[in-house]
Amino acid sequence: MAGNENGGELLQDAVCRTLAIEMLDGKWPAGESLTLEDVQNRFGISRTVAREVAKTLESMGAVTVRRRVGLVARPFSDWQALNHQVIEWRLHSTQRERQLSSLTELRLSVEPAAAASAARLASIDVKAKFPVYAAQMRQIAESNEEGAVGLTKFHDLDVEFHTLILRESGNELFAALADTIATVLRGRVELGKYPMKPKPAALDAHDAVADAIAKGDPERARKAMFDIVDEVARALNFF
């Protein structure tokens, strides 16, 4: 039974993703509609799954569901832009460069402040974790384990490092962005926008953030985190 439920959820997610990307790519323009029958017939899904697809897209602000009309596409300005699912869809659409640029600007605004707050407010036990993460990241980066396996290990630690900073910042709004930032970090790897071997400067900056947080130095943590995200922006040629 659980297997059938998981299969239904995966199918529903796949249909939502396809339709969302078509809207983002302009293949399904804002204002145009699809009936539930259209969705059922195209994807070979049940009425129940089609309704769930409609509910999901509506909850993201991507469509309006109207009786006797169906799903009406909405302009992206109406979408839940900070929802991690919306971000994932956009990263896999023709709008990926714009999405990465917007998220990098967001990171530049939020993460340095979050690092400074973590240096002030995180508990001693939490602060002690950051140098461990940074050391593990350096060990993987400087080892002979290159390619996809090494990159995956490094990247998983990088996501944990940035997520922990946001969640331990003492700011509930920063914490709420943890999944959003994790999505863009993962998206860079999936899109081939992440170097196969991390640069020494990036490793040094992570060491600096970790050391500053561990020693309770907010301003040094802020500057080092800015250096990390600024390097990303420059690597992506955004600024």
The pLDDT confidence band at residue 195, using thresholds 50, 70 and 90, is: confident
8 A C-beta contact, residue 222 and residue 238: no
The residue written with tokens 């080092």 in the block is: 224
181 in a structural domain: yes
221 in a structural domain: yes
89 in a structural domain: no
Q: Return the structure tokens found at 34.
A: 């699809």
The residue written with tokens 């900070």 in the block is: 82
Structural domain containing residue 125: 95-235
Distance CA 136, CA 76 (A): 40
Are 46 and 99 contained in the same domain? no
Long-range contacts of 4-9 (CB under 8 A, 24+ apart): 8/49
Are 38 and 131 contained in the same domain? no
| Cα 183 to Cα 38, 53, 54, 156, distances in angstroms | 31, 21, 23, 12
**Which pTM does this prediction carry?**
0.84
Strand ranges in the chain using DSSP code E only, listed in sequence order = 33-34, 63-66, 70-73
Residue at 66: amino acid letter: R
**Residue 108's Cα: distance from chain center in Å?**
15
At residue 1, the pLDDT reads: 44
Is residue 151 predicted with pLDDT exceeding 80?
no
The count of domains in the chain is 2
Give the CATH number, domain containing residue 123: 1.20.120.530
Largest CA distance in the chain: 62
At residue 113, the pLDDT reads: 98
Strand ranges in 79-233 using DSSP code E only, listed in sequence order = none
**Within 13 Å and on the Cβ side, how many CA atoms surround 65?**
13
The pLDDT confidence band at residue 66, using thresholds 50, 70 and 90, is: very high
204 in a structural domain: yes
Are 154 and 199 contained in the same domain? yes
At residue 69, the pLDDT reads: 95
